[in-house]
Structure 1
Amino acid sequence: MKTNPSLSRQGSLRFFYILIVILVVSIMVGGAISASLYVNKVTRDNAQVLQLQNRVTDEIAELRGAIWLADNALHDLLMSTQSEHHRAIRENLERASASLEKLKQNMAMASPWLDGRMRGFEENFERLKDDILTLVALRQDPEWLYPMLPFISRTLLESNEEFILAANLALNEIEAEEGKSAGPLYRAFDEVRDLWQELILNFRAIIIRFAGLNAVQEISQEENIRIIHAQIMNKLDGLTRLREQGRLGFETEAALETMRFRAEKWYRDYQDLKNLRQTHIWRADLEYLNARIRPRQARVFADLNVLERELVAWSSRNATEVEEAATKINLGLWTLSAVAIGLLLLIYYLLHRLVLSPLERIAETISAEGRNIEDLSLPGRGSREVHTLIQAFNSLRRQIHQRQIALQHQALSDALTGLPNRALLQDRLEQAVHLAHRQNTCLAVLLLDLDRFKEINDTLGHPTGDTVLQQVASRLLECIGEADTVARLGGDEFAIIVPDTDTEQIARFVECINLAIDRKLEVESHTLYVSASIGAALFPRHGTDPMTLIRHADVAMYAAKRNKAPYVLYETSLDEQTFDNLSLLGDLRAELESAAGQLQLWYQPQLRLGDRSVTGVEALLRWAHPAQGFVSPERVVGLAEKSGLITELTRWVLEHAIADCAAWQSDHPDLKVSVNLSAMNLQDPDLPATVRELITRHDLEPDQLALEITESAVMGDPVHAREVLQVLSLMGLELVIDDYGTGFSSLAYLKLLPVSSLK
């Protein structure tokens, strides 16, 4: 039998399939190789550009940061001259120079046309560096730093010394003529000398303020100088009239002329000094800073901004090249796709039976599986590629499921301790309340806040504080049962849910928690101790919903912290105390405004032990509240301090105490009155003026009023407290340190304060 020639000339399906596949593969592989080489080149160039841009950006940031740190150290140096400030300035300038060298190298690699920008920036930076180092060196010369000091030492000091010398000569001659009986003439010259010394003290206070703060605003000492100088001139006029009557000796007359001349000259020179001060050259270093360094610094930062913009522009050009490469690749891919589509149409029939049919079965099976997370399987036989696809799909679904579990854990857990967070606590508390309601059982919610934790954070740093929180969380987990929940709400606050419990069990449970927390903590090389304030609320006794239980537990916790108790169970009276404080605050404000007579001063006598005579009284505040009876002074002062009424309350006490003491003077002329001041009163700039106004209005001698200040109030801000006490002392008031020994001051420091006694 002969073979049909037409059939023999037809190729087999396998041959056509292999031929088409080889053709398609050749086109695709050739195009892919060409595209890959091109993409690799563009990607490599772009990656180098990005790396270089990142390095340059980091160097600019480091350079800018070093300049800022040097500027901060310079500012600290201007405020307080210390050796570490000099060292910090030089170290940061050296860091900036090192960063500049790296930046120059990277800029040269980036683009040669950026060299001109870099040269200008480098020149400005070197000038800035030289200016800063020059300023540091010049500040070693006090006469350069304070140009007014030579004027003071050569002009004002001469008048002061001449005035004091003339006053002493006059007093010596008067004493020689009148003896030591200190007659009216002697007292007149002595008063002039004392006024002059008080004037010089106020002048020194002004000089200290000028030199330390470079402030030009007028202060109270300047007004004091005007008043005292006028008093001096009035007294000198009186002495001049005595001279015209021939009642002065020869040396006294000469001394009087010198005192008048020097007083007038000193005051004129003082006015010249004030005018010079207004020229803003009291501190030469600040003038140098503003005139030389700040403009140079602005130019340096402007140059850095220009460099960053140029770098972004250069990087954008590289990004444009990448976009052009992507466009070329897209065109090539479209061309290959068009060729491939034509060839694929020829083999569609073969692919339909070998590929598309199995894919349809896979799609049907996946649709039948739905949302089930079990592994997908296909009935019957399938190709290796199909089974590989199924395995990849199953692996993908497992990974998605695992990531969903991880995200859920992150959303409901505290990142630091691993405990449930507030959201998960709320969910579990709702479930626990629902279960307790259904089973008719009791449920406890505990809120726990660590005491002294802020001191650990502020002293040893937040990493140490985080370790403390982790160890506390571990100890809380050791204390709870399987059904209990412990969560971290944030900061140093924790919450615990204890189902199926009662009051006695909660008390024992809290005792276990306190024992666990009170144990020492070993953190790095530190041995630390913390304690906790715990508040508890019970379901259904204190609330039937989660929000009420948490709020009542929070009220109890703050009551424990306020009363320094380790544990407080919620009571309705705790809410009443909060309401009482708000009510008392409103009543106190109304009483201070209306003076209805509820506030009273009681006086405790102060006795001299030798003869048991009364030398003074101490004013004690009492409040006869119409509804709550007598309210303790501690509570009244605490409310006033928290609400900002302490200034009004202090003025009320001073007003009545001074008025009462002035009224007693006719029967008891030597009787003094003592008034206690709050720590916040020392921060009141108007306190000296208020006291001066009240003693003037009631015609009370300043030495008959004593102000008592606690030791802790003085040590809270010792510098400011000393300034305020100096002003009060110059007014003639007696100052007393109260509660000495309860703080951290020493007698050596107290000797520097103008106080007369300790209690």
Structure 2
Amino acid sequence: MALSLVVVLILVAIIGYRFVSQTSDVHIERIASRDVAQQRVGKLQRQLQKIEQGMALQIIEPGSVAKSELQLMLEVLERDFKKLDNDLLVSTGEQPLMSGETSVAILPNFKAEAITFMHVADNNMLRFPSTYIMQAYMQPRSRTINDTLDRLIFEMPKNSDQEFMRLIYETQHIWQQLLAEFRLVVANRFSVFADNPREGMQARTHNIEIYLEQMRTQLLRLEKEKVPESLQPLPDGIWQQLQTSAQEWQQYYKELMSSLTSSKWRLDLYQFNTILQPQIRKMEEGLSQLRANLADQAGRDITGLTKVTGRLALAILVSSLIGIALIIGAYFYLNVRVLKPMSETAQALRQEASGDSEVVIPVPKLQETRDLVEAFDEMRNQVLKRERGLDHLAHHDPLTKLPNRLLLKDRLDHALEMAKRHDQVLACLFLDLDNFKQINDTLGHLAGDELLIEVARRLQETMRSSDTIARLGGDEFAILLEDIGQKVFAEKIAQKILKSLRQFIVIDDHQFHVTASIGIAIFPDDDSISDDLLRDADAAMYEAKRLGKNDYHFFSVELLQLATQKLKLDQRLRQAVKNKELIYYYQPIVDARTNRLIAAEALLRWKAPEEALKSPVDFIEAMKRLDLDLRKQLTLDLAAQVN
């Protein structure tokens, strides 16, 4: 009986172990699948944003995005949606959490509409339907009327009937005025002369109607007017032909106005606003909802290490009083025995330095002061010799022999003055090597130094002799380009630099492919002060890194605004830590089997005065940039509350 019971217990234990093990494996696999799906959703959201930005850029600057590039992005988007569906099937064991309408129905239709959009955007005739009406129908009629009137004026003798000549000239003037008003209608449609195109179009349309009526009346008068005998016989029906051309021109003009005032006057913009953008919004909403459904709500256990530092206020006070007493006593002693004799000696030396050769340096009583006077002459001789070496060290980087930040600022200030005086354009490039820390961590700092020397050499080979290349510290370089003429020259230089760095570098039998991110700031477009111009290039460099590295980026006002906002948030957060504005909320964690409280999750929130409660989403990035002491203070505050 006992043996049977033991066997049963062993079997139960084995079965329970296997059940728990299998359940844990399944649970872990689902958690991992959710993490993968979460990352996939984020990637899809970025891809949709990139596609939308590419289409918007194509509207603003046609031809800036290749059709093949958009097709590739759409194929990648479709492939990743399918992978996401597979990930969701694994993580949930059932149908995907995102509706099939978003992932299956909308995407193929969106892909077809996007290809149609690119076809329209690349063709001016398709993009602006009114262009075809003007070129194919209105322009030939207008040319017929102009040519006919010009030929009549050219063939008319000087002694012709004055009334007939006046009618011909008036007719030509009316038609030219009509065409001028028509051009203004088209210009107003494209918002060339007015912020509100429809108001300008209405005014010009009214004038065109008046000129068309005047033209019709003028041609009727010419038809009734007797043709001077001095004029060569006119072709039969010439006035009727002109009337017909003017009427046809008016007919196509009405069709053109109908096209210009419709919502499809620019077909690519219509497709983007009414078809593509709503579909993008719908897919983004589906992805956002999916991300919310997949959010991992498990809290992280926070283990605090309490380290209490005792401050001995009385001991510090006593030590301070003793130190003050010693300083006062030493001051009186030094003033009588050392400072006063040294002051007399220094005064004499200053007189000698000012050119007074008759000055008599008093002989100090202390041996140390006498030695100082004797050493002064020797030091004065050595100063001039070392001054030159110190000047070079003060203005150059000892590793790469390039100018340092101090010399760069001096040259940049001088270049800005010259550029302002001669109305020139200059550029400041800020270069930072990508992933340089990996080389230092892998092969050590000596290998990193060799890499920096090689990069400096390649930069010198790429630049002009008049350009300034400076190493600012670490893996950061700055380049000053003077008198570049146009902004595009700086862009070409950045491209040359990136191309020169693509060739691999050999260090200790290891090949390294080095890339860099470059920020470009332009005078006078961006700033006129050297520090601000260098700051702008630095901000543009970080934007190039954020967009994927191994590229260059021009500075814009938006970058400065983002940097300013980030700085203000960092300053406010540091002050919030000191003012105890960051508070903790505790969420209990209960064992489901015993229904007992086993732990608590501490949730950090920011409650600033007269502001709503902020969640970590609003300040988590700024929190990462906090000083170690401030983050330590937050941990101590939590530990004190828990204790």
Please classify the TM superposition score into its range, dividing by the shorter chain length. Answer: 0.3 to 0.5
What is the TM-score of this pair, normalised by structure 2? 0.40
Larger radius of gyration: 1
TM-score by length of 1: 0.35
